[in-house]
Amino acid sequence: MSSSPTPAASAVPGSAAAPHVVEDCFGVVQLLSDGTVRRSTDYSVLPLVGGVPPDLPVEWKDIVYDETHGLRLRMYRPTTTGGAGEKNKLPVLVYFHGGGFCLASFEVINFHAGALRLAAELPALVLSADYRLAPKHRLPAALDDAESAFSWLRAQAAASPATDPWLAESADFGRVFVSGDSAGGNISHHISVRHGSGRLPLGPLRLAGCVMLWPYFGGQAPTPSEAASPPGEPMGTALFDQMWRLALPPGATKDHPAANPFAPGSVPLVDLGDAFPPVLVLDPDQDALHDRVADYVARLRAAGKPVELVVFPGQGHAFFVREPCGEASDELIRVIRRFVHGG
């Protein structure tokens, strides 16, 4: 699996140069010299080891949460949690997929498999949400879309009973968690900050926690683990840098607040109120982002924010996406279950 920048242009002699590819990310997304974006729906470049978990007692359906932009989410509900009634209500896990803000969807089989496991084994009502992708829709579009997803959920809770029957029957709106892997982990941070700063009021929802899987942060000064990432590493610094070029506003550096949560223009952690939720951070120690994630956790602690860090030895970036039924993913599910259910 590889990505490439700037192939050379080819032009017919005596004619104007035809648009050429200036960024090629796995062949899935190509940015042309005239600003055109080509996008494929073939995600076979994203390996799935072990397949989809078989026969999990989960039902799912797709819902439009933002009609203006045609954005959808997939709702997963376990079918073995008993009948109706408050005692059978489930925590709600709002999950945002990874992909460097440029790739993927909840429909990609890897993310579908992971959501099935989360719904069945936590158990929880899982809302796996799409958002607009770069480079056609550069940041902060994805962050704004995530805010729209929570505004939609808030409206559902305020309807009492919720308009959607699955939410009305099964959702515990007092236990809502924001979660995601990689870019989705970044989104989860920004949703928590927007809520903690008062920009995103959620009542009658209660944001009970934030679950971040190897959050995708950046910065101009490389960390030791980023600098040590081999040039050909499929999930390494070279790929992450390319995705930041595609995702950030034109001309922005990796010290843009959307990438670097401690850059100028970011909301200081000490200014966030009690609405900023407890945080669980899951960190593979072979990830090029390992040092940056450790620094993020240290800064949360220094600001007095409740945060738990769980390190997965020997694992790399996106291991749950690559192998959702592996042993490390089994432990990941156990860790999230403990955080969500409080024991």
Q: Record the tokens describing residue 138, joined without a space.
A: 């550069």
Known catalytic membership, residue 317? yes
Known catalytic membership, residue 148? no
Q: Tell me which residue of 65, 75, 85 sits closest to 170, measured CA to CA.
A: 85
Instruction: Assess contact for 92 and 171: CB atoms under 8 A.
Output: yes
Reply yes or no: is the peptide bond before residue 57 cis, omega within 30 of 0.
no
Instruction: Assess contact for 18 and 12: CB atoms under 8 A.
Output: yes
Known catalytic membership, residue 172? no
Please give the full DSSP string across 251-284, using - where no structure is assigned: T--TTSTTT-TTSTTSPPGGG--TTSPPEEEEEE
Instruction: Assess contact for 248 and 259: CB atoms under 8 A.
Output: yes
Angle between helices 109-121 and 327-341 (to 10 degrees): 50
Instruction: Assess contact for 71 and 129: CB atoms under 8 A.
Output: yes
Q: Record the tokens describing residue 224, joined without a space.
A: 């030791």
For residue 205, the cross-strand partners are none
Q: Tell me which residue of 27, 145, 51 sits closest to 97, measured CA to CA.
A: 145
Quote the Cα angle for 26-316-91, to 5°: 95
Which listed residue (3, 170, 179, 182) is catalytic? 182
Which listed residue (283, 287, 290, 329) is catalytic? 287
- Catalytic positions: 182, 287, 317
